[in-house]
Amino acid sequence: MTVPTKPLPGGDELPTIGFGTWELEGETARESVETALEAGYTHIDTAEGYMNEAEIGEVIADYDRDDLFLTSKVLPKNLHYGDVIASCEESLERLGTDYLDLYLIHWPNPAISLRETLDAMATLHEEGLVRNVGVSNFSAYQLSAAQHVADVPIAVNQIEFHPWLQRPDLVEYCRETDTVVEAAAPLARTDVFEDEVVQELADEYDKSPAQIVLRWAIDRDVVVLPRSTTPDHIRANADLFDWELSEADRRRLDQRDRNQPVYDFPARDWNDDVWGIPQ
Ligand SMILES: NC(=O)c1ccc[n+]([C@@H]2O[C@H](COP(=O)([O-])OP(=O)(O)OC[C@H]3O[C@@H](n4cnc5c(N)ncnc54)[C@H](OP(=O)(O)O)[C@@H]3O)[C@@H](O)[C@H]2O)c1
């Protein structure tokens, strides 16, 4: 399988499909990541919050590190300068590697200075611990502030994106500023399989609803990160590059936007431990 890539500001190439690992823990994480690597995925998306970096580390130990693109993320409670450095070092230790290809601020945290967080990210970048820096779940407002204060390019914004949540203004802002958009929850956690146009196109192209949705996102210049524990799904989800949707059918999917998230809801539960914000 040859996966197309997108260039990042530092010259690295980001594979347009990565394996999502949220909620995969223990043996399930090991087996799923192993299946993904055997199927030809070279890009893995994890986070300190996913509690699976050690398992991923065990699996990738058998692979040539240079052939892999590894992303991890720092939790929003760990965005003070020293905490970012410590979180990154701990992720590297668990993953058994001496660098990350991409390190993301998992969520913006309004209680901690963005400048301080990005100063730490710049230090990690300077020291070679992270090759590229990015953000996740940032609005255009937050991303533009990050770009303003950062000493390193913000290479990526990983956001919820699928046919039912297309976020045209945010995606356009990312495009204008050369920030690659990565789709978190690109399958809307299966919700979007119910969409009637997705189902019609799946029948017409003899593909699964998942394949239709992933191919559409890639054609919209968005990197996809599908998660699966089912070996047949893992393999099929990466089988996207020897067929294509017509422009008319892409436009039919463009028209399915409902502004309907599966996880990025407007308000947050600030009591959740990931924020570390006492009342
Ligand atoms: N930055 C963030 O805050 C953030 C937030 C959300 C997600 N993410 C990243 O994005 C990744 C993907 O998002 P997600 O895990 O939320 O959900 P998702 O990839 O949109 O959906 C996963 C669900 O789809 C099913 N599925 C996968 N392929 C399928 C297929 N071919 N046919 C039928 N069902 C299929 C899976 O079940 P099976 O296991 O049975 O296949 C699973 O239930 C995450 O794992 C994570 O890496 C990041």
pLDDT of residue 263: 98
Looking at every residue in the chain, the average pLDDT score rounds to: 97
Q: Is 229 in the pocket of ligand 1 (CB under 6 A)?
A: yes
pLDDT tens for 179-194 read 999 999 999 999 999 9
Asked whether the predicted pLDDT for residue 1 surpasses 80, the reply is: no
* Residue 272 counted as domain residue: no
pLDDT of residue 273: 94
Question: How far does residue 49's CA lie from ligand 1's centre (Å)?
Answer: 16
* Residue 138 counted as domain residue: yes
138 and 159 Cβ atoms separated by less than 8 Å = yes
* Residue 3 counted as domain residue: no
Asked whether the predicted pLDDT for residue 20 surpasses 80, the reply is: yes
Question: How far does residue 258's CA lie from ligand 1's centre (Å)?
Answer: 19
50 is catalytic: yes
Read off the pLDDT band of 140 (50, 70, 90). very high
Nearest residue (by CA) to ligand 1, atom 9, is 184
Question: How far does residue 13's CA lie from ligand 1's centre (Å)?
Answer: 23
- Tally the domains of the chain: 1
CATH number at residue 49: 3.20.20.100
* Residue 110 counted as domain residue: yes
Asked whether the predicted pLDDT for residue 168 surpasses 90, the reply is: yes
* Residue 6 counted as domain residue: no
How far from the centroid of its chain's Cα atoms is residue 6's Cα? 14
Catalytic residue among 41, 50, 103, 173: 50
* Residue 105 counted as domain residue: yes
Residue closest to 159 by CA, chosen among 207, 225, 68: 225
pLDDT tens for 208-218 read 999 999 999 99
pLDDT of residue 17: 98
Nearest residue (by CA) to ligand 1, atom 11, is 20
Burial 62-86 (b: 16+ CB within 10 A, else e): eeeeeebbbbbbbbbbbbbbebbbe
* Residue 267 counted as domain residue: no
* Residue 36 counted as domain residue: yes
Residue-number span of the structural domain to which 198 is assigned: 13-254
Nearest residue (by CA) to ligand 1, atom 29, is 233
Read off the pLDDT band of 252 (50, 70, 90). very high
Read off the pLDDT band of 10 (50, 70, 90). confident
Q: Which amino acid is at 269?
A: D
